[in-house]
Amino acid sequence: MTITLPVRVMVEDAWDQVALNLPPETSLESLKQRALQLTHVTGSPDSYLVKYRGAELRDEQRSLAEAGVVRNATLIVLPRRRRPVR
């Protein structure tokens, strides 16, 4: 039996959430790329960051388990640069 970690990822550019069941060994970079693909965001994944519990997860080579992500957690993927308000 394979253990998976259910998480929700909010992608700010699409203003949409995706539910994922991933192995705990999945890198944060892979999670980000998958969430961007599923929400049809076409920008470069490098121009987005991942936040968990309000803090940026800077080392995207770390796994979900290494980053301390727990079951049913919500992560946020948002642009690295703020956009001007018009």
pLDDT tens digit string along 25-66?
Answer: 999 999 999 999 999 999 899 999 999 999 999 999 999 999
Q: Would you say 4 and 71 are in contact if contact means Cβ atoms under 8 Å apart? A: no
Q: Does residue 38 lie within any of the structural domains?
A: yes
Identify whether 86 is part of a domain: no
Overall pTM surpassing 0.85 (yes/no) = yes
The three-state secondary structure class of 28 is helix
- The stretch 3-24 carries a mean pLDDT of 96
Distance CA 25, CA 27 (A): 6
Return the CATH number at 45. 3.10.20.90
Residue 23 lies in a domain: yes
Supply the range of the domain harboring residue 57.
5-74
Determine the Cα–Cα distance for residues 11 and 49; give it in Å rounded to an integer.
10
- pLDDT for 43: 86
Q: What is the number of domains present in the chain? A: 1
